[in-house]
């Protein structure tokens, strides 16, 4: 029983991270209607930004979240204005080519700048864990999860309480109506994309204490991100969080009874099963 609770707990801690890196993807799709294949590469950029801040300023990756978020926000804003805006009304094929191209560009640009070697940070709590009622909680996982939860709450407040958040939701619901009400939708698109990629980057930054970063790290998460988003309902922000938790828990629990090699097999079997009965995903349009 204890082993079950332990696995469940590990899965939740892991799933929170999956959630926060996937929310950005869902947000961008929900508002801009673009499937951003380069989303996982922004996570990689976030990890590098956090690593760079740690390496040059000695900033802890988790405390450095505002800085990482701000840097990637600016990069995302510029990319949307320069590259995505022109293809927003273009056929989907053009959009796919653009974001896939962006993915290759980002990976190789980072490869040129930082080289191919793995970077990891050294922080004091890296090897420590807590023991509560016989359950082990890894401190870096706990910190990453807590940071993810705080970021999610901040996003929720932003979307529901601020004027700009409401403008984003209005644009997602009906672009024309939003324009008629005086919303500058071009600005909304740029800001949404910037917020979306910054969220994913923050998700990357907070896991840096237990992960290593290399230019290709995004690839390890890309499929998981798309699974999480589709599972939770495309374009649904809360759904992405739920999807993340579900994926984390499935991965963790399946490893209890089956070889670790098969954890993604179980995940995709459950995924296909859920889609067969609920093709719109776990949560309906928010």
Partner 1 sequence: MKARIFAKAALCVSLLAVSVGSALAADNVKIGMIQPLSGPNSVFGVNCQRGMQLAVDMINEAGGIKSLGGAKLELVPADIPTPNTAAQATQRLISREKVSGIVGHFVSSSTLAASEVTERMKVPLVTFAFADQITERGYKYSFQVTPKGTVFGADQFNYIYDMMKDHGKAPKKIAILYEDTAYGTTQAKGLRAAAQAKGVEIVVDEAYPLGITDANPLINKIRATSPDIVFPVSYFNDALLLIRGMRQQGINIPAVGGAAGYVINDFRKGLGEYCEGILSVASSNQDLAPKDFVDRFEKQYGVMPTHDAISHAVAVDVMAKAIEKAGSADPKKIRDALAETNTCDGIASAIPGKCVVFDKNGLNTKTFPILVQWRGERLVTVYPKDVATSEPVLPQ
- Regarding 268 and contact with partner 1 (CB under 8 A), the answer is no
* Binding residue for partner 1, selected from 162, 220, 284, 285, defined by CB under 8 A: 220
Binding segment toward partner 1, per CB under 8 A, in 47-55, 110-118, 167-175, 267-275: 110-118
Q: Name which of 210, 163, 191, 242 is nearest 76 in CA terms.
A: 191
Burial (CB < 10 A; 0-12, 13-18, 19+), residue 203, is buried
Q: Which of residues 178-217 bind partner 1 (CB under 8 A)?
A: 210-212, 214-216
User: To the nearest whole angstrom, how small is the minimum distance from the Cβ of residue 70 to partner 1?
Assistant: 26
DSSP code per residue over 198-225: HHHHHHHHHTTTTS-B-TTHHHHHHHHH
Q: Which of residues 44-103 bind partner 1 (CB under 8 A)?
A: none
CA distance 204 to 21: 7
* Binding residue for partner 1, selected from 104, 111, 157, 177, defined by CB under 8 A: 111
Q: Name which of 48, 78, 18, 30 is nearest 199 in CA terms.
A: 18
- Regarding 256 and contact with partner 1 (CB under 8 A), the answer is yes
* Binding residue for partner 1, selected from 127, 162, 173, 184, defined by CB under 8 A: 127
- Regarding 129 and contact with partner 1 (CB under 8 A), the answer is yes
User: To the nearest whole angstrom, how small is the minimum distance from the Cβ of residue 48 to partner 1?
Assistant: 15
Which residue's entry shows tokens 């508002």? 31
Cα separation values, 183 from 76, 103, 200, Å: 21, 30, 26
Residues of the shown chain interacting with partner 1 in the complex, contacts defined by CB under 8 A:
3, 6-7, 10, 14, 111, 116-118, 120, 122, 126-129, 131, 136, 138-141, 210-212, 214-216, 219-221, 251-252, 255-256, 259-261, 263-264
């Amino acid at each position: 029983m204890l082993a079950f609770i332990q696995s469940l707990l590990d899965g939740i801690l892991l799933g929170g991270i999956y959630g926060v890196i996937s929310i950005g993807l869902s947000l961008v799709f929900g508002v801009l209607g673009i499937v951003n294949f380069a989303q996982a590469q922004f996570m990689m950029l976030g990890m590098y930004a956090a690593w760079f801040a740690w390496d040059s300023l000695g900033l802890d990756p988790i405390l450095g979240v505002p800085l990482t978020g701000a840097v990637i926000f600016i990069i995302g804003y510029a990319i949307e204005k320069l590259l995505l805006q022109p293809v927003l009304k273009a056929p989907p094929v053009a959009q796919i080519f653009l974001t896939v191209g962006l993915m290759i560009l980002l990976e190789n640009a980072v490869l040129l700048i930082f080289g191919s070697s793995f970077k990891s940070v050294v922080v004091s709590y890296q090897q420590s864990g807590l023991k509560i009622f016989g359950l082990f909680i890894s401190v870096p996982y706990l910190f990453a999860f807590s940071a993810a939860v705080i970021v999610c709450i901040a996003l929720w407040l932003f979307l529901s309480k601020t004027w700009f958040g409401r403008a984003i939701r209005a644009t997602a619901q009906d672009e024309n109506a939003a324009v008629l009400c005086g919303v500058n939708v071009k600005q909304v698109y740029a800001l949404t994309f910037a917020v979306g990629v910054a969220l994913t980057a923050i998700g990357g930054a907070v896991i840096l204490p237990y992960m290593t970063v290399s230019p290709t790290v995004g690839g390890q998460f890309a499929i998981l991100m798309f699974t999480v988003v589709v599972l939770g309902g495309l374009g649904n922000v809360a759904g992405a969080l739920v999807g993340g938790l579900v994926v984390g828990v499935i991965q963790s629990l399946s490893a209890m009874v089956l070889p670790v090699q098969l954890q993604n097999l179980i995940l995709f079997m459950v995924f296909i099963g859920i889609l067969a009965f609920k093709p719109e995903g776990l949560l309906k349009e928010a």
